[in-house]
Structure 1
Amino acid sequence: MTHPIELRENTYLIDNHYPLNLFLNRCQVGEVGRTALYLHWHDHFEFIYVTAGNVTFHIDGQQYDASPGDILIVPSGVLHVGYAASNEEIQYWALVFNRTLLEGAASDPIHGRYLHPYLQGKLRFPVKINDSLLLAPIRDIFHDIIAEFEERAHVYELIVKAKIYMMFAILARNYLQDEEVSFSDSYEKRMERFKHLILYIQEHIGEKLPLSEAARIVNLTPNHFCKLFKAATGLTFVDYLNRLRIDKAATLLREGFSVTETASRVGCDNLNYFTKLYKKIKGVTPSETKRLLG
């Protein structure tokens, strides 16, 4: 897994005329709770298909437990993050595409009725597909898309696009009139605040940031801030900040920085505390990480 440079992920899509891509993500064997998907957001839709291991995703402030065979739909523009729920290897496919891939002609009433509300974010499908009768055909389509990407035979792009249309058609048939697909504008605005805060945290990882100051940045009381932050990330503010610092520390150690310099760069002035925190999160000490890297 690679660490995103910033919270708003500039996902690599094939090109502006064919704005989609398929990624196979792996998270190696390790401690329960390790990051399987780094917290980020992007302007694209994303279908996540778990094929190995158990993952707890937090998508737009809600928790979803996923195991092999599960498919989740990440709406455009929402925060999402994933943590390993077991110590085994995690593997999942991510199909990412921009809404422009499926935008129909303005004069197409069928497109306007069945797809436009979802593509424009006015309505949302349920994030996790729990209906087994619905999940099976969508999983089959996902397998077809994977096969097309692996083969890349003549006109595979058109076939993949048609398959995505089919997935949306199946979802629209089942959820078009359900009230559960709607969402709260006020809730979305609150989540927008956290995008800026978390990006600020990542850019100032070596600086102290008290909880009270973080709450002030998003214009919330500390108590309300704690509840919303836990909902958005699945972690308390302190736990998230510690994990982010240790993930950054692991990167710095791999890049050749000493343990002492690494601790300083991630804002841990007390070397003993840094070592204990690193071992708690990573399962080994910073020095042991250096030795394993050779």
Structure 2
Amino acid sequence: MQDYFIFNQPDMMSHYSSSPVPRPENFKMHTHEWCEVYYFSEGKGTFKIEGSSYPLESGDILLMRPLESHYIDIDPSHRYTRFSAHFDPAILKGLDPDGYLMRPFYDREAGKKNLYRASSFKSEIYKSYLKNAVRETENRRLQILSNILPLLNEISAAFSAGVNETASETLDYKIVNYINNRLSENITLDEICREFYISKPHLCRVFKEITGSTVWDYITVKRLLNAKMLIGSGIKPTKACGECGFNDYSTFYRAYVKKFGTPPSKSG
């Protein structure tokens, strides 16, 4: 893989990379605490977001909000080039107090209306923002922010006009959505199978195909990230543990340390 640049700071990170022969096993399902703007420059693949599938075309833009799980099912026979920018939503609070630029991230269901294509925009000015964001510069942070902000403005206009692409509401999406709506509950595989009239082997196979993860790994990661965000907002770890679906604090503690490398009490 060729990294044109990798930029990492406490409240944002970005990378522009190209893989001549991308290996699908390197692109696993993940989720994070920041918003992400992803630009697909070249390649062949399908982006999977919370059970929804988006076949990709060169020039596509996708948005993911915090805790929205995603990965790319990439074709290794094509070069894969992409740019992504992750940022803490707090960066924009002073510039966008009404949250206009955040609407495309939050004012929708998880896994829905993530994709923007050239046809979504009234003009091609958005392309210049992407081009400028990745060009050589002595101040990478300023370069990214000064172009991502107007890009988000164009995306927000497209979102308001209702011209962005959405995925169909398939069984895959319904299963993931069902789980996401019950993360704080004592959910079981038997319950999910009864709801959708499928067997456990069928559920596990389908879930692995659509998320790249097992059901329990998915649930655990989502619960841990929810807990981390609650703790960061001032909620005590013991309370966050219960609110996020963990029945036993010692189990929660071990999983938290394994995932984040630090005890819950050190995350606030």
Into which bin does the TM-score normalised by the smaller protein fall?
A: 0.5 to 0.7
Would the alpha carbon gap of residues 52 and 174 (structure 1) be closer, same or farther in structure 2, given more than 3 Å must change? closer
Structure 2 equivalent of residue 200 of structure 1:
none
- Give the secondary-structure state (helix, strand or coil) at the position aligned to 2:33: coil
1:57 aligned to which of 47, 54, 59? 47
Q: 2:114 matched to 1:127?
A: yes
Counterpart code for 1:191? N
Counterpart code for 2:14? L
Shift of residue 104, structure 1, vs aligned partner: 2.4
Would the alpha carbon gap of residues 161 and 230 (structure 1) be closer, same or farther in structure 2, given more than 3 Å must change? same
Shift of residue 68, structure 1, vs aligned partner: 2.5
Shift of residue 59, structure 1, vs aligned partner: 1.0
Structure 1 equivalent of residue 193 of structure 2:
221
Shift of residue 52, structure 1, vs aligned partner: 2.5
Q: 2:149 matched to 1:165?
A: yes
Aligned counterparts, 1:36-185, within 5 A: 37-85=27-75, 87-104=77-94, 111-112=97-98, 114-115=100-101, 117-118=103-104, 121-123=106-108, 126-132=113-119, 134=121, 136-147=124-135, 150-153=136-139, 157-176=141-160, 178=162
Would the alpha carbon gap of residues 100 and 28 (structure 1) be closer, same or farther in structure 2, given more than 3 Å must change? same
Q: Distance in 1 between matches of 2:54 and 2:165?
A: 16
Shift of residue 37, structure 1, vs aligned partner: 2.2
1:14 aligned to which of 3, 9, 13? 9
After superposition, the C-alpha distances for 1:54-100 in whole angstroms (9 at most, x for unaligned) are: 12110121111113322222222111011223512222112111211
Structure 2 equivalent of residue 24 of structure 1:
16
Structure 2 equivalent of residue 191 of structure 1:
180
Would the alpha carbon gap of residues 83 and 169 (structure 1) be closer, same or farther in structure 2, given more than 3 Å must change? same
TM-score when scaled to structure 2?
0.56
Would the alpha carbon gap of residues 215 and 14 (structure 1) be closer, same or farther in structure 2, given more than 3 Å must change? same
Shift of residue 21, structure 1, vs aligned partner: 1.7
Whose Rg is larger?
1
- Give the secondary-structure state (helix, strand or coil) at the position aligned to 1:221: helix
Q: Distance in 2 between matches of 1:27 and 1:193?
A: 38
Counterpart code for 1:145? A
Q: Distance in 1 between matches of 2:41 and 2:163?
A: 30
Counterpart code for 1:127? N
Shift of residue 123, structure 1, vs aligned partner: 3.8
Preserved CA contact (<8 Å) 1:45 1:75: yes
Shift of residue 160, structure 1, vs aligned partner: 2.8
Preserved CA contact (<8 Å) 1:53 1:88: yes
Preserved CA contact (<8 Å) 1:36 1:90: no
- Which segments of 5 or more consecutive residues in structure 1 lack a partner in the other structure? 2-10, 195-213, 242-294
Q: Distance in 1 between matches of 2:120 and 2:9?
A: 32
Would the alpha carbon gap of residues 48 and 228 (structure 1) be closer, same or farther in structure 2, given more than 3 Å must change? farther
- Give the secondary-structure state (helix, strand or coil) at the position aligned to 1:164: helix
Q: Distance in 2 between matches of 1:160 and 1:30?
A: 25
Preserved CA contact (<8 Å) 2:16 2:84: yes
Q: Distance in 2 between matches of 1:137 and 1:229?
A: 43
Would the alpha carbon gap of residues 132 and 86 (structure 1) be closer, same or farther in structure 2, given more than 3 Å must change? farther
- Aligned residues: percent identity? 14
